Structure 1
Amino acid sequence: MRRYGVQPIASITDDLDFAPVIIVAMGRALWRYRSELAPVTLATLCLLGGWILHQAYPTWWPAVLATTALVALLLTVWGRWVNLTRPIERGYAAVTTAFTGGCLTAGTVFGPLSRPLPVVLSIGGVLLALPWWAHRRRRARVHVERTLAAWPDIADTVGLAGSRVQSAIVDLWGYRFRLALGRGQTVEDAINRIPNLESALGSRRGAIRVQPVPTKHANRADVRVIETDPHADAIAWPGPSITSITQPVKLGLFEDGSPVRVSLLRRHALIGGIAGAGKSGAVNVLLGDLTACPDAIIWGVDLKRGMELQPWASCLDRLATTPQEADALFADAVTILDGRADHMTQQGHRTWEPTPDAPALILLVDEYAELVDEAPEAVRHADSIARRGRAVAVQLVAATQRPSQKAMGKGAVRSQMDVRISCRVREQRDVDLILGQGMLKAGWHAHRLDAPGKFLISAPEHDTPRRARTYLLDDNDVQRTATHHAPHRPHLDTISAAALESATINPHTSTEAQTTGRHARSQGTQDAENALTDALENAPADGASMDDLMRLTGMGRRWVYYRLDELTRADSVAQVSRGRWRATPHNP
């Protein structure tokens, strides 16, 4: 039969059997490279749509043109809602939409094959396709789709058999996908298999984050793959983010670029981590925001002779640098706490609402563990403040390297800390010391933080382990910020001042003895009043300093401060600059 050019029937049957295989292979190839072929697909649909509209609805061209303009405008203004995060991406989408819509409108009026429309569509399509083919996020999305297409095999390899990928999103730093875990699997199982996932997905070490989904489903997890570390470089501090202690402080940025905001009002805070991990940076960011609040007074304790907090001294109402000063500072804080509590009881109030006339009191302690050995009385008062200070807005912020029970004074201080910030730690067990028992097992791996300033935060509004990095304030930023905020810092309220004034009388002394003591001190107090008045009237143009007033009156800092506060409220004294006063010209 082959002699006469006739093909055998069996051969024809074999060719027909191969036809479906070829069609399926072509379909798979087209689907696999659908992203690369998107410009060709769009041009084909434009020609087909123009031919249909030209044949059936040629008068619809104004509607096509108006729809094109509307869609292009929406992409330009609100393109971020469809994952077009950068302005250049929104502009490219708008230009492509306008070009395609223009060709479709022309095809509706004149026909898609009328000259020179095919040439214009070909040239314009190639020019607009070049950015699409070169776009990093598109290529990354294709890579992610192809990687996750093999997830069933990956899941079997890493020990998460039965799980499946529900959705995936590519961003500027990598990609993330929602994982539906198999029956009986938990988020902790996925966290424990992070090293296996890093190997199976071909990522670098430490590049994968697994956290629970904030829903009611216990078998859902968000897996994030970091390909470009957004925290590779330090993040410059943008300036104060709040103007009131009632607002959440912004400490830095998470890895997805969202800000780390946490409320400090009526909360105690603990900052931990090894030396050089970034605790001082976090303290500087806190002070940069808190000193901008006119309804918060800050008292500092730095037993390293003020090495860390001295640059902020002009904004601190008090700064203790010795154990004796620390004991006095904490004793006064407890006195204020009791005075505010008594006042609130009399008024029938349950919480102290901070205002510029009644500010919150924040006690910021650098290297808290130093207090235990050098100022045990201060530690005892700190324990009382931790237990009773929230309602009256007397709050404690403590920074230390390793907050063990011994280092925190064996009291209730550590257990009362609502906000926990952990910079890098050297040992895994220190994670539970800083963040709380069981946090290491739950995926809070502070021992894997790899740069100064990176931290994990645990707070009522932050209950999942998300890596973040604090802003950076260099010495010039600290000096400039402190100088700018110093003239606007508030004074202690009258209720707290009255509590401190009344505490100068020994409560264990009899009434008769107190009366005798008052009479004995009255003449000396009057002399001090006269000396203070003379010093303020004769003060130079830049004012008299606190040290000068203490020397001339022979009184302590507390007495001089509160007399100045009373005279300032009476408009008899003006504060020329931070720490310097003089009598007002119209009313000496």
Structure 2
Amino acid sequence: MSHPTAWQTHRQYTVTAARWTADRWSKEADRRRTLRAARKPLVRDARAALAQAQAVDPQKVTSIVHRAERELATAKRKVPHPMWLFASKTTAAVAATGYIGLPLVPGRVWMWAAVAVSVAVAGAILWARLHRPAASPIEPTAEERALLKRLQPEHWREHAEQRGLTGTLTGRPALTESGIVVAVRLDGQWTATKLRGAEDHVRALLGARTSLRIQIKAGKKGGWAELTLRTRSAADGDDLLWSPERRTLGIDTVTGEHVTVPLGERLLIAGRSGAGKSVASRPLLYDASEGAMNALVIIDLKRVEGRLWDHRARVASTPEEVIEVVDELVAELNDRLSVLPKGQDTWTPTPDRPRITVVVDEGAEVVTAADKVPFPEVDDKGKTKVLLRSALPGLETVARMGRAGLIDLWWMTQKPTINDGIPKQIAPQISVSICLAVRTPAEARVVLGEDAQAKGWNADELPAPGVALVRDGTRKPDPVKVRYMDKAVVIALPAQPIWSRTSTPATATGAPTLTLVKPTTTPAVASIDGTDARILDAIENAATPVRQKDLAETTGLSKGTVSKAVKRLTDTGHITRRPDGGLTADKAA
């Protein structure tokens, strides 16, 4: 190695050592500064306690003064010296020791000491190079640099009293992929809940913009809170457009993980108008309608979202259709439970009897519109009577008992209040809640639980649209950016068989087998729909005239559906009602 090269190498090592020493000096100085800021108030309190004790007992008759003096001495010992003073004392001690003791050390000891020091220095340099921490890829923005400066304990302590936050003190803030996180020490009467109520004071102290989301929750130990400023999101930079390859609900903005909601759960999806409920539910509706083992039923009285899925789902968009499909679902559920093998807890899906997901879009409207709906029915004597029927009891039955029969209820509403938006018999059955932005904390508590706010589930603070909280019993209250699935993408999805309850010859167990069918017609009934065709087929295949009440059992359809179909077929001349009430098919028709 040439002389210039050696000089350059030594110079580089010197610069590195100096930089490392300066960095260690800075960190130790910051640590001591933080401890002094935290412990000097304790010294002042101890002095005040001593002065009070001396005033009470100036003759030191009791132990109160001696105890106060010991507490003051202990408090002083816990306050570290500033770095400059510590270094000065250390240098003076080393110099004095060297001046007195070094001349007495033999030369051989000096030689081996120099060897040991050289080896130690070389080893330390090698270890430092091998264990050098990776540089943080996160570069703070101008806003984050300002917030980090104001979150320093020195700045906080100086301005806390002016903002009504006396008794709180921050630790050292850290910049993460989801924003700035800092621990806050709480003294006196402060609690995490009380600090959360003083969020406006915290925002003012930091000079944070109004739209910046601030989260305050209990710390990892008593007397501490955790303050998080959501200046960034772990989902930034990810492609949130939905595709068959990206079928998750969304991305956690704190951890960056992909969030999924498996089928088989009873869901509540809530959020104010414009929060993005429909968009958030589309990836889930795709999963619920994909494959031979899944079938989707959508109850949508608004006739907007359901129309997008009518090639993959059975859609009920009128009160009469809602009641008919609910009747079929209850009948299907009862059949499944009646033939469920002994010792088996849940139904095993098959292509004939798949898992059925029932989605109620805008539940408040269904509760109101599908209640006391007039249904005309014709009795065996040909007389018509009107019955008032409601879909709610059937939906409550599905919510309570559907899990075993693999008929799952998903309830969606923009009015998350008990009885109005969520029936009180359905709310306790919900296992997973997906809450987008809501208007009030009360609505957030209805969706996410009474302990929602205390545990950080603040859905009323979420931005809209497209950000949700998912509470399933395991997740933390981290916001989730949901994937975007466009209407055109839904319409372009391949069609799937539409579920409908129909009967085939009974199995060995004596119970009918229910299948997924597409309405079929024969040349003789080409002008009528699938329900009327099944009624007509049942009448034609009967050896004797069929009574109307027997048709409901034969076809598996509800009485109301059979009654309307019989009336249509009678009006068109396809069937004839005999004087005794029996029904026969007109072959000429």
Q: TM-score, normalised by structure 2?
A: 0.56
For residues 99-498 of structure 1, the aligned pairs below 5 Å read: 136=140, 140=144, 144=148, 147-150=151-154, 151-153=156-158, 156=161, 161-166=166-171, 168-172=173-177, 174-182=179-187, 185-212=190-217, 217-228=221-232, 236-240=240-244, 250-256=248-254, 258-259=256-257, 261=259, 263-292=261-290, 295-305=293-303, 307-316=304-313, 318-344=314-340, 346-352=341-347, 359-376=354-371, 377-408=390-421, 410-437=423-450, 439-440=452-453, 443-462=456-475, 464=477, 466-480=478-492, 482-483=493-494, 486=495
Q: CA deviation at 1:369?
A: 1.6
8 Å CA contact retained: 2:196, 2:217: no
Which 10-residue stretch deviates more, 374-383 or 136-145?
A: 136-145
Q: CA deviation at 1:314?
A: 2.0
For residues 529-548 of structure 1, the aligned pairs below 5 Å read: 531=522
Q: CA deviation at 1:375?
A: 1.7
Q: CA deviation at 1:551?
A: 5.6
Q: Give, as a single letter, the amino acid of the residue that structure 2 aligns with 1:366.
A: D
Aligned in 2, Cα 1:190/1:555: closer, same or farther, shift over 3 Å?
farther
Q: CA deviation at 1:173?
A: 5.5
**Alpha-carbon distance in 1 for matches of 2:269, 2:288:** 16
Structure 2 equivalent of residue 16 of structure 1: none
Aligned in 2, Cα 1:230/1:323: closer, same or farther, shift over 3 Å?
same
Tell me the SS of whatever aligns to 1:457. Answer: strand
Q: Give, as a single letter, the amino acid of the residue that structure 2 aligns with 1:190.
A: L
Paired residues, number = 411
Tell me the SS of whatever aligns to 2:431. Answer: strand
Aligned in 2, Cα 1:263/1:194: closer, same or farther, shift over 3 Å?
same
**Alpha-carbon distance in 2 for matches of 1:137, 1:259:** 24
Q: CA deviation at 1:308?
A: 0.8
**Alpha-carbon distance in 2 for matches of 1:156, 1:355:** 68
Q: Give, as a single letter, the amino acid of the residue that structure 2 aligns with 1:342.
A: S
Structure 2 equivalent of residue 20 of structure 1: none
Which 10-residue stretch deviates more, 453-462 or 380-389?
A: 453-462
8 Å CA contact retained: 2:503, 2:555: no
8 Å CA contact retained: 2:147, 2:206: no
Give 5+ residue unaligned stretches, structure 1: 1-26, 33-51, 90-134, 243-248, 505-527, 536-543, 563-588
For residues 74-93 of structure 1, the aligned pairs below 5 Å read: 84=136
Aligned in 2, Cα 1:334/1:155: closer, same or farther, shift over 3 Å?
farther
**Alpha-carbon distance in 2 for matches of 1:180, 1:143:** 18
Deviations 1:197-244 (A, max 9, x none): 1111221124243254696x45443321133577899963243478xx
**Alpha-carbon distance in 1 for matches of 2:484, 2:268:** 19
Deviations 1:283-308 (A, max 9, x none): 21322343346543211111123x21
Q: CA deviation at 1:382?
A: 0.8
Q: Give, as a single letter, the amino acid of the residue that structure 2 aligns with 1:239.
A: S
Q: Give, as a single letter, the amino acid of the residue that structure 2 aligns with 1:290.
A: A
**Alpha-carbon distance in 2 for matches of 1:354, 1:385:** 17
Tell me the SS of whatever aligns to 1:281. Answer: helix
Q: CA deviation at 1:273?
A: 2.3
**Alpha-carbon distance in 1 for matches of 2:528, 2:186:** 66
Aligned in 2, Cα 1:357/1:258: closer, same or farther, shift over 3 Å?
farther
Deviations 1:82-132 (A, max 9, x none): x74x5xx8xxxxxxxxxxxxxxxxxxxxxxxxxxxxxxxxxxxxxxxxxxx
8 Å CA contact retained: 1:294, 1:489: no
**Alpha-carbon distance in 2 for matches of 1:447, 1:201:** 22
Aligned in 2, Cα 1:180/1:416: closer, same or farther, shift over 3 Å?
farther
Tell me the SS of whatever aligns to 1:207. Answer: coil
RMSD of equivalent CA atoms: 5.1
Q: CA deviation at 1:381?
A: 0.7
Q: Give, as a single letter, the amino acid of the residue that structure 2 aligns with 1:144.
A: L
Q: Give, as a single letter, the amino acid of the residue that structure 1 aligns with 2:181.
A: R
Deviations 1:346-387 (A, max 9, x none): 421223455767642210111112222322321111111222
**Alpha-carbon distance in 1 for matches of 2:332, 2:213:** 48
8 Å CA contact retained: 2:249, 2:259: yes
**Alpha-carbon distance in 2 for matches of 1:493, 1:555:** 12
Q: CA deviation at 1:272?
A: 1.9
Tell me the SS of whatever aligns to 1:285. Answer: helix
**Alpha-carbon distance in 2 for matches of 1:468, 1:137:** 23
8 Å CA contact retained: 1:285, 1:470: no
Tell me the SS of whatever aligns to 1:270. Answer: strand
**Alpha-carbon distance in 2 for matches of 1:420, 1:372:** 20
8 Å CA contact retained: 1:425, 1:431: yes
Q: CA deviation at 1:329?
A: 1.4
Q: CA deviation at 1:471?
A: 1.7
Higher helix residue share: 1
